[in-house]
Amino acid sequence: MKNKLKLIVLLTLTICLLGSCTFIPAGKLDSLYENNQDSVIVSGDPSEKNNPGNDTVTISRDEYERYLKFSEMYEIFNFANEHFYQDIDPDKLVEYATRGLMAGLDDPYSYYYNPTEFKEMWEEDEGNYPGIGVMISSNPETQICTISRVFKGSPAEEVGVRRGDILYRVGEDLYVNSTNLQEAVDIMRGEPGTDVDVTFLRNGEEITFTITRRVINVNQVESTMIDNHIGYIAFYQFAGEAEKEFETELNQLISNGAEGIIIDLRDNPGGWVEQARYIADLFMDKGVLCYIQYRDGKKLSDEYVTKDGKIDIKLVILINENTASSSEILTGALRDCAGAVTVGVKSYGKGIIQGVYPVGKNGAGYQMTIAQYYTPKGDAVHKAGIQPDYEVPLPEGDNGAYEFADTKNDVQLSKAVEVMKELLK
């Protein structure tokens, strides 16, 4: 009982530190806690030797009642600490309890990062990290993890990994799905210069490659002129300094004579909303990027706004079933406010926003879904997606593994060029 109450004191102290509670000096209490209508006092055992005499905190009754919900977890923790047949790792138990807490939200986009994972997440966002050089699209419903991009000059490209391959197994034992994808990614990152065996499914057949890891330098944007008047920008992910890369490529295309721009957001999984706002601002005058709705139900229009000073240019946007999140925010804004025409197939439909936050003092973090968004005209995106103006599915058996700007074989890009030529007439 005393051990359990020590844990109560520890957690209560942590809650108070986070919540700016007031500490009060402890006198000798007849019981280990006292309460009244508004507050609860929790103390250590004053009969113990070397009692510092300042081990009492006061918290609100609401906080105390919230704490009691964790009592079963601490009871199990305590029992394992004393009776499990081997020595336990307390930090590991706490980490897994925290992961379970996030899993209880029943949201595939809300999860915990331990310190190593949080550090790697930021490294990956910056575009410089050890690995094999692939981007993976995960479908929480089917649990299938598909290669959506193979980076140029990467180890994966060199051995023959293709866009559209399904990530099936890493090493001998880890069969990959959406739930354990992070574990698979951690293994594939590893130390530069070391090998990892990765198995993919391609046309129903297993293909295993031995891939040597090395540091990957990721470009998020790539562009070219398709003809004398049409510029093409492939935008892969909202990460790093992608918005500045985009602006640089856009300016170069305009200086080369582009009167219309095709923005390819196919297989772009999204990323930072602020980067979507920055890019939309290039093509929009003062207006709303998207409406944000929090749990109170109010739709706010002032969180992400654009300013006057748009570039006057024709826009066509390519989207597909893997165009998600910030990509859909940008597509909806440019469609509603900049006259952009959309080509491809219906987008993924991830109309929710996550916040990313540090937690604790050891470098851990978490992300959590905090809001839903709507296009400037009020259209919901979540689980609905964006329906293109021109629907162009890929031919049967075509996984979209084309060379960059392949207007000959890529039927969706060919249609986008055709649409742009009509706009420029």
Write out the catalytic residue numbers.
325, 336, 350
- Measure the CA dihedral 111/326/278/226, to 10°: 140
Alpha helices by DSSP H, listed for 258-325, are 273-283
| DSSP bridge partners of 364 | 359
Cα 388 to Cα 392: distance, rounded to the nearest angstrom:
9
Tell me which DSSP letter residue 1 carries: -
- Measure the CA dihedral 386/391/394/395, to 10°: 150
Nearest alpha carbon to residue 73 among 57, 96, 103: 96
Contacts for 88 with CB less than 8 Å, ≥ 6 apart = 80, 81
Cα 338 to Cα 109: distance, rounded to the nearest angstrom:
30
Cα 127 to Cα 140: distance, rounded to the nearest angstrom:
24
Cα 350 to Cα 322: distance, rounded to the nearest angstrom:
10
DSSP-derived secondary structure for 343-366: EES------EEEEEEEETTTTEEE
Cα 359 to Cα 371: distance, rounded to the nearest angstrom:
20
CB atoms within 10 A of CB 264: 27
Nearest alpha carbon to residue 279 among 218, 347, 333: 333
Three-state secondary-structure class, residue 27: coil
Q: Which residue has the tokens 């490659």?
A: 209
Cα 288 to Cα 338: distance, rounded to the nearest angstrom:
12
Rg (CA), the chain: 26
Cβ contacts of 293-302, under 8 Å, gap ≥ 24: 293/371, 293/372, 293/373, 293/374, 294/370, 294/371, 299/374
